[in-house]
């Protein structure tokens, strides 16, 4: 009798084998999705086609929220964290399915089900937060981001179904704790990289907000080209559109540009030069002796300056 109950308990601990397989398949898709984005951001592969419009993906992935800052000089794409999450789920999903990995297979199975639930729960909550940022803050659509969010939600649902949980109260309690922790951490991070917050801080001391987006090789080369042609960007530290223009280039490319501060109370300003040039709108670009006002797409700036490449994604 006791032996029968023990065997039944062990079979229950192992959960559903086929749900594990399905989770492994979804996690593999997630690894490919986030891995491709990460390699593109790092310049290891070329740009990837984005269904629904390339500009939407570029707006989201190159936004302030597309990068995790770890220090003044160290930053990684947010997609890399997603890659690590999906790879972790893939590993935990297939681990108990490997023949002969351990004599205590039921114990490994039970632990990995808890790991699958915790990881997928955190990823699902964070993905929903990112979807809110995409819709209400960035106001753009990224196909790959939506796919990643859907995968993480389905993984959470599958972990709830496949685990065959004996203690649902403990499961719910841990899920609530994980959700609160991830949500609070995500909100703090989101606020810290929000350019509107940076603009408020910068406007207090005459210094423009810090550019957070990363640059790819073509953006840096475009900035160098504009600089070599004597191109100048006229800016004001308090101007949100100027900051948007800089974020299009990314911080590495902005360092290659010639940017003139026109606000009289701005740090290291050249307001007299701006007045002589007749600049009264920001940002303004002076390229090939002609001044044009307003935010310009990188493609427009490439055409104006005679830069050949148009691939900035």
Q: Are 207 and 267 in contact (CB under 8 A)?
A: yes
pLDDT tens by residue, 114-166:
999 999 999 999 999 999 999 988 878 889 999 999 999 999 999 999 988 98
Maximum distance among all alpha carbons in the chain? 96
Q: Does domain 2-193 have CATH number 1.20.1440.130?
A: yes
Where does CATH 1.20.1440.130 sit in the chain? 2-193
Distance (Å, rounded) from C-alpha 246 to C-alpha 211?
Answer: 7
Q: Considering only 43-52, 70-79, 109-118, 298-307, which range has the smallest mean pLDDT?
A: 70-79
57 pLDDT tier (thresholds 50, 70, 90): confident
Bridge partners of residue 309, in order along the sequence: none
> How many of the other CB atoms lie within 10 Å of CB of 86?
27
Within 13 Å, how many C-alpha atoms sit on residue 171's CB side?
19
Where does CATH 3.40.30.10 sit in the chain? 217-305
pLDDT tens by residue, 256-275:
999 999 988 888 999 999 99
Residue 225 predicted with pLDDT over 80: yes
Bridge partners of residue 260, in order along the sequence: 234
CATH number at 217-305: 3.40.30.10
Residue 247 predicted with pLDDT over 70: yes
Q: Are 129 and 187 in contact (CB under 8 A)?
A: yes
CA angle 140, 132, 57 (to 5 degrees): 30
Mean pLDDT of 172-182: 96
| pLDDT computed for residue 104 by the predictor | 64
Bridge partners of residue 293, in order along the sequence: 284
Residue 246 predicted with pLDDT over 70: yes
Q: Are 265 and 206 in contact (CB under 8 A)?
A: yes
Bigger pLDDT: 206 vs 307 = 307
Bigger pLDDT: 194 vs 255 = 255
Bridge partners of residue 287, in order along the sequence: 290
pLDDT above 90 as % of the chain? 46
| pLDDT computed for residue 203 by the predictor | 52
């Amino acid at each position: 009798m006791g032996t029968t109950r023990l065997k039944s308990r062990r079979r229950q601990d192992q959960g559903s084998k086929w749900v594990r397989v399905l989770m492994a398949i979804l996690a593999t898709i997630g690894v490919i999705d986030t891995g491709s984005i990460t390699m593109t951001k790092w310049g290891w592969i070329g740009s990837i086609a984005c269904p629904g419009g390339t500009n939407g993906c570029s707006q989201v992935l190159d936004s302030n929220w597309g990068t995790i800052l770890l220090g003044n000089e160290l930053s990684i794409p947010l997609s890399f964290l997603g890659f690590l999450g999906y790879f972790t789920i893939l590993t935990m999903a297939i681990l108990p399915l490997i023949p002969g990995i351990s004599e205590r297979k039921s114990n490994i199975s039970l632990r990995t089900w808890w790991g699958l639930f915790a990881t997928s729960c955190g990823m699902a909550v964070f993905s929903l937060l990112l979807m809110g940022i995409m819709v209400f803050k960035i106001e753009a659509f990224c196909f790959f981001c939506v796919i990643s969010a859907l995968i993480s939600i389905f993984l959470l649902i599958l972990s709830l179904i496949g685990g065959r949980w004996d203690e649902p109260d403990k499961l719910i309690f841990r899920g609530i704790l994980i959700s609160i922790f991830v949500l609070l951490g995500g909100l703090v991070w989101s606020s810290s990289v929000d350019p509107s917050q940076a603009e408020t801080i910068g406007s207090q001391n005459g210094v423009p907000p810090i550019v957070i987006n990363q640059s790819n090789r073509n953006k840096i080369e475009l900035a160098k080209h504009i600089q070599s042609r004597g191109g100048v960007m006229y800016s004001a530290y308090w101007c949100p559109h100027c900051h948007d223009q800089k974020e299009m280039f990314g911080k590495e490319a902005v360092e290659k540009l010639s940017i003139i501060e026109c606000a009289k109370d701005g740090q290291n300003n050249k307001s007299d030069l701006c007045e002589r040039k007749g600049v009264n709108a920001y940002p303004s670009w002076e390229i090939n002796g002609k001044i044009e006002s307003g935010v310009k797409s990188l493609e427009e700036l490439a055409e104006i300056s005679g830069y050949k490449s148009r691939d900035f994604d």
